[in-house]
Structure 1
Amino acid sequence: MDAEFEGIVANFPPLQFDDPAAQRASFAELHASIEPPRLPGNIEILVDRSVRSVDGHHVETRLYLPTDLSAHSPTLVWIHGGGYVVGTADEDDSLCARIASDLGIGVVSVDYRLAPEHPYPAGFEDCYAVVTALAAAGGSAQFDRLGDGNIVIGGGSAGAGLAAAVALRLRDEGLTFVTGQILLYPFIDSTLGFDSMRRYADGAIFNAHDAEVCWQHYLGAERSAPPAYASPSATTNLVGLPPAYVVAAGADCLHDEAIDYALRMIRAGVSVELHSFPDVPHGFTGVAPRTSASKRALSDLLEAVRRFGGLREAAPKPVLVAVSEE
C-alpha cells in the first residue's frame, strides 16, 4: 500500500453494503457531525427537480454555477459512486465545485435512485434522462443558466459505470453530443470475472464481497448475464464511443476491469488516456484527495475535462499516456 494511504486505510471504517439502509444512515450521521467543505466563493449551488425519468420520477440534480460562466461553455454531468446502493449528489460538492471554479464551467451532479429499492434500470434511466434533458435544454430555468457548449459525462466507481452505460446508449441511438467520458476506477463487471477480483479479494475500502453484494442489489439474477447498459464490460462493440480519461487504482479489486475496458476502447479506435496508479485503494481520490497520487489524478482529470469540453486547443497526445504512474 502507498505509504500516504496506510494510516487512512487502517482507520477507515468497514462499509455495510449488505445493509444499504444502515450504511446510508451512517453516512448521514457522519456528514451531520462534520463541518461542511469550504467551497470556492465564485460558485453558486442550485437544486433542480425538473427532469423526469422514463417512469415519471423527478430526478434531483445539483448545479454548480460559476459567477463568470459564459453562454457557450461546456457542462460536466457528474455521477456519484456508492456501489449503486449508497451515496448522494452532495457528497461530491468539493470536487464538483472545484471543477466548476477552476475551469469556469457548469457542473450537474445527479441524485439518481439507488438499489435495492430501485434496482436496474432505475438509476441508469435517471442519469440518461438528465444528460438528454441537458442536451435538449430541458425546459428548466436552472438548466437554461448552463452553457450551450459540449457535454462531458463522468463519475467514480458506480458513477463511472453509469457514465459509461449512458455513453453506450447514446452511441447506440446515434446521439453524439457527449464529447468525453471521465471514468474513475469504474465498477462495470457484474460477473466479477477479472483476476484482480481474486488478487485483491480483501482489498481496502471496497472488496470482492462488497462488489458481489452490490451487484446482487442492483441486478439480482441478471448479474451473471447482464445487459450491457447495466454492466458495460458486457459490451462487445465499443466503436464510436466518445474519448475517455480512465483511472485504475492499483490495489483495487476493480483494477483489471478498468484496464480491460480502456484497452478494448483503444482497440476499437476510441481515444483513451489511461492511468493506473500503483498501490492505492479503490476510491483513492475521494478517500484521500490531498495525497500525491490523488492530486495527480485530479489535476489530469481537470485537463481531460478541459480538453473534452473544447475549452482550448489541446496538443496531440499518445493514445495510451500511461499504464503505470511512477
Structure 2
Amino acid sequence: MAINKYMKAVLRALSYPDIDMKRHYLLVRQATRISHPPLPQEYVTFPFSVTNGDHEVPCRLFTPHDKAEPLPLLLFAHGGGWIAGDVDTYSRVCYTMAAQTGCMVLSVDYRLAPEHPFPAGFDDFYAVARTLFTDPFLPVRPEAITLIGDSAGGNLCAAASLKARDTGDFTPRRQILIYPACASEHDPALSAFPSLRENGEGYLLTTKRVCEYMDLYCADRRDRQNPYFAPLAAVDLSRQPKTLIITAQYDPLRDEGEAYGARLLADGNQVTARRMPDALHGFFSLPPRFPSVRQCYKHICDFLCEVPE
C-alpha cells in the first residue's frame, strides 16, 4: 500500500531539511545513538581488532544463539553517511542479521569523517576484509564470506570489491549492497537520477543531507572521480562478486543503486536487484516485524543459498 497523505506529512516534519550538517554533525551522531539503541547486556558478542597501519580497527562478532558448527560469515559495514554510526549503534541490527540469516556477522567500526575523511574509513574496512580473506582470524573459509553494507556501508563494500580486483589481494564471491551510495554527484539539478528529485524532500533522507554527507566525507574534490569513493565512477566493473542490490522506493539513492546493478550486469557479473515497495532509506534498521524488513531478509537468505557460477 502506498504511503498515505498523513504519513507523508509526518515524514516531511521529520526530515529536518534545514539542519546544517557541516556544523552539527556531532548532534547527528548523538541522534543516531539514540535511534539505534545498543543490545541488552544478556546478548554475548566478541570483540576483535585488525591492524591498519598505525591504527587498530575495532570489530565485533555476532553469532546465532543456536548454532555451534562453523558458519558462513557476513562482513558488515554500517551506514550513517560516513559521519555517524558505530558497532554499538548497529549492534541490534547485526544481532538481527545473525538470527535471521543463521550466519556470523562481523561488524567493522571504521573511522568517521570529517575527522577522518576519505580514504580513512574505506581503508579501515578494506584492511579488515583483506585480513579476513588472507590471514583469517576466525574459523571461516574465504568462499563463505559475504560483504554486506547499508547506505555508506554499501558504498564501502562495493569499493572494497573493486580494490580487491584491482590489487589481486583477495576475491570475494558475494556482496550485498543495501540502498548503497554509488555516485559522486547528488545535486538534483546536475544528476541524471530522477529519484533525487522525486524523493529528495519529505522522506527522512533529503538530497541536501546526502550532499552534505558527501562533502564531509570528501577531503579533496578530485576524490569524487575515484571509484573507491564513488563506485559508479569506475570505467570497468568486470570481475565483481555475485551481487544482490536492495533499494527502497522512496529513497533519493534508489536510482544510483539500481544503475550500479545495471552496470555490473552489463559488464558480465551475476546481479540480482530488488526494489522494496513503500520503503524509505534506512528501513533495514527497523525490527523484522516490519514487512519491508521481513521481505528484505527473505531476499538476502535466498541470495545466500545460491551458488555463484
If the TM-score is normalised by the length of the shorter chain, which range does it land in?
A: 0.7 to 0.9
Residue number in structure 2 paired with 1:319: none
Alignment partners' CA distance in 2, 1:262 and 1:126: 25
3-state SS, counterpart of residue 280 of structure 1: strand
Q: Is the 8 A contact 1:80 1:110 kept in 2?
A: yes
CA distance 1:29–1:186, change in 2 (3 Å): closer
Deviation digits for residues 102-136 of structure 1 (CA, Å, limit 9, x no counterpart): 44432100010000000000000000000111112
Structure 1 pair 48/225, CA: closer, same or farther in 2 (3 Å)? closer
Match for 1:86: what amino acid? A
Give the aligned partner of residue 305 of structure 1.
304
Q: 1:147 aligns with which of 128, 140, 145?
A: 140
* Distance (Å, rounded) in 2 between the aligned partners of 1:301 and 1:13: 29
Specify the code of the residue in structure 1 equivalent to 2:183. D
Question: 2:39 aligned with 1:46, yes or no?
Answer: no
Paired position in structure 2 for 1:210: 209
Query: What amino acid sits opposite 1:148 in the alignment?
Result: R
C-alpha displacement of 1:10: 6.0
Match of 1:237 in 2: 236
Which of 172, 178, 182 in structure 2 is aligned with 1:184? 178
Distance 2:162 2:202 in 1: 29
Q: CA deviation at 1:171?
A: 1.3
- Match status 1:253 vs 2:252: yes
- CA distance 1:267–1:100, shift in 2 (3 Å): same
**Which secondary structure does the structure 2 equivalent of 1:279 belong to?**
strand
Q: Distance in 2 between matches of 1:63 and 1:3?
A: 40
In the alignment, which of 74, 80, 89 is matched to residue 82 of structure 1? 80
Distance 1:186 1:5 in 2: 28
Q: Is contact 2:48-2:58 (8 Å) kept?
A: yes
Note if 1:2 corresponds to 2:39: no
Q: Which amino acid aligns with 1:198?
A: R
**Aligned pair 1:197/2:216, yes or no?**
no
Give the whole-Å Cα distance in 1 for the aligned partners of 2:4 and 2:288.
14
Shift, 1:147, TM fit? 2.2
Per the alignment, residue 108 of structure 2 pairs with: 110
Aligned residues: 297
Contact 2:15 2:202 in 1 (8 A): no
**What is the RMSD of the two structures over their aligned residues, measured on CA atoms?**
2.8
TM-score by length of 1: 0.81
Secondary structure of 1:27's partner?
A: helix
- CA shift in 2, pair 1:279/1:103, >3 Å: closer
Letter in 2 for 1:125: D
Q: Distance in 2 between matches of 1:202 and 1:169?
A: 34
Structure 1 SS opposite 2:63: strand
* 1:30, distance to aligned residue in structure 2 (A): 5.4
Matched residues, percent identical? 29
Query: What are structure 1's unaligned runs of at least 5 residues?
Result: 311-315, 317-326
User: In structure 2, do the counterparts of structure 1 residues 201 and 161 end up closer, same or farther at CA, with 3 Å as the change threshold?
Assistant: same
Q: Which amino acid aligns with 2:294?
A: K
